[in-house]
Amino acid sequence: MSGTGDIFGLFPAGTTRDADGTLVVGGCRLDDLAREYGTPVMVVAEGALRDRARAYREKLAARWPASQVVFASKAFACTAVQRLMVSEGLWIDVAGGGEIVTALAAGADPATLVLHGNAKTTEEIELAVRSGVGTVVVDNVDDIDRLEATVPPGRVQGCLVRVIPGVQASTHAAHATGHEGVKFGLSPAVARRAAARIEASPRLRMDGLHTHVGSQILVADELAAAVAPLAALGRYPVYDLGGGLGARYTYTDHPPSLDDYLDALIGAARAHLPGDARILIEPGRSMVADNAVTVYTVTTIKPSATPAAPTFVAVDGGMGDNMEVALVGQRFEATIADRVGGGEPVTVVGRHCESGDVLSTDVPLRDPKVGDLLVVPVTGAYCFTMSNNYNGARRIPVVFADGGRARLVVRREEWSDLLVRDVAG
């Protein structure tokens, strides 16, 4: 299970070790970054992330020229990440009003934003229309009511109708969104009626259909299986095939390569969709997950009390900066920054007042000590997005590293930030 080669395979492309064995991400030693920015700190390999965005765009276009990659920014809704995606020619998928605000601050053309949400508020619809958001994904008939009441005379709002494709994905139940009974999208019969209503509206434009099977999906055929149900609903100018490609979090994960995923998806598109249609895809997790790491400081070590009990290695972060373990049981690996790979199994836990605040169980660490830097790879997806202030924790900084240079893109919260929303009296 353990081993330097294995753990290296989970780090961003280009990760190396310095002469003394210390991990180097984006050309920057992680101990140097920890000294400068403190811990916990999230480090993004900017060049590797940019390469991933380009690979998505170029490989999709090579298979289907009339296509567009739309970054599912909920995976890492950081303005700097959105700005990078915009600079690489990607559109931005926004899942609420706050992501509209950050995407616009990142320089995105509002016409290239795709708004999602199963329960959009009137305020969010109004913000989207006022901002000029190009596409609204209609997830229910109430979306149509709100849009028709909001879009001013003389304006036309582009819409896609989200369809439940009837695909049961082999992923965590919280990540599966393509089967009957989920809260997202419309059954094919209801979707037909919604499309007809949009087509009849003078203020809405029926651009096409949308679907999404789920997230952290490791079987390409499950993603491709959503294409035929869309085609059965008719011919449209646009088909948004969603995202969902999984990331490699641990040694036993083997997601399809980008090429294999696109071959399966576009193969299904060629078999079922009109050749002149535009295809959109919405990668999120697979774009960002393995291009970031989180660096912690070991604060205490609690040796095993009995042969059956684990040794606990506690760090200065946890479920405040990584909710994936507590929410969906996602496994993460870890290593000591200057003693990479190998060692005896321990349980890495966080500082929060919950027994569920566990970052990784049975993870091998080499002779961990208080003060060591512990590094968790594959934290680029959903960790920043779902960070929180539980137990008064301050949300952690984000640092971009590239070519040996680092820059702070999100600062660490100050203690005073925890009071900024309080109202006197």
CA distance 256 to 258: 6
Catalytic residue among 28, 78, 159, 353: 353
Confidence bin at 183 (pLDDT 50/70/90): confident
Q: What is the pLDDT of residue 6?
A: 79
Q: What are phi and psi of 79, to 5 degrees?
A: -55, -40
CA distance 47 to 55: 12
The model's pLDDT over 342-352, given as tens digits with 9 standing for 90+, comes to 999 999 999 99
**Which are the contacts of 148, defined by CB distance < 8 A and separation ≥ 6?**
201, 203, 204
Q: What is the pLDDT of residue 222?
A: 92
CA distance 296 to 83: 27
383 included as an active-site residue: no
Q: What integer is the mean pLDDT of 364-373?
A: 97
Exposed/middle/buried for residue 39 (C-beta within 10 Å: 0-12, 13-18, 19+): buried
The model's pLDDT over 328-344, given as tens digits with 9 standing for 90+, comes to 899 999 999 999 999 99
Q: How would you write the chain as a 3-class SS string?
A: CCCHHHHHCCCCCCCEECCCCCEEECCEEHHHHHHHHCCCEEEEEHHHHHHHHHHHHHHHHHHCCCEEEEEEHHHCCCHHHHHHHHHCCCEEEECCHHHHHHHHHCCCCHHHEEECCCCCCHHHHHHHHHHCCCEEEECCHHHHHHHHHHCCCCCCEEEEEEECCCCCCCCCHHHECCCCCCCCCECHHHHHHHHHHHHHCCCEEEEEEECCCECCECCHHHHHCCHHHHHCCCCCCEEECCCCECCCCCCCCCCCCHHHHHHHHHHHHHHHCCCCCEEEECCCHHHHHHHEEEEEEEEEEECCCCCCCCCEEEECCCCCCCCHHHHHCCCCCCEECCECCCCEEEEEECCCCCCCCEEEEEEEECCCCCCCEEEEECCCCCCCCCCCCHHHCCCCCEEEEECCEEEEEECCCCHHHHHCCCCCC
The model's pLDDT over 60-83, given as tens digits with 9 standing for 90+, comes to 999 999 999 999 999 999 999 999
Q: What integer is the mean pLDDT of 51-66?
A: 98
The model's pLDDT over 89-125, given as tens digits with 9 standing for 90+, comes to 999 999 999 999 999 999 999 999 999 999 999 999 9
Q: What is the pLDDT of residue 5?
A: 47
What is the length of the chain? 425
Q: What is the pLDDT of residue 214?
A: 81
Residue 208 pLDDT exceeds 50: yes
Residue 168 pLDDT exceeds 80: no
Q: What are the structural domains of the chain? A: 4-45+290-419 (2.40.37.10), 47-288 (3.20.20.10)
**Which are the contacts of 179, defined by CB distance < 8 A and separation ≥ 6?**
164, 166, 167, 168, 169
Confidence bin at 23 (pLDDT 50/70/90): very high
Residue 425 pLDDT exceeds 80: no
Residue 4 pLDDT exceeds 50: no
Residue 255 pLDDT exceeds 90: yes
Residue 140 pLDDT exceeds 80: yes
Q: What integer is the mean pLDDT of 234-252?
A: 95
Q: What percentage of residues in the chain have a pLDDT greater than 90?
A: 89
CA distance 48 to 402: 9
What single-letter amino acid sits at 230?
Answer: L
Q: What is the pLDDT of residue 305?
A: 82
Residue 20 pLDDT exceeds 50: yes
CA distance 357 to 149: 45
Q: What percentage of residues in the chain have a pLDDT greater than 70?
A: 96
Q: What is the pLDDT of residue 373?
A: 98
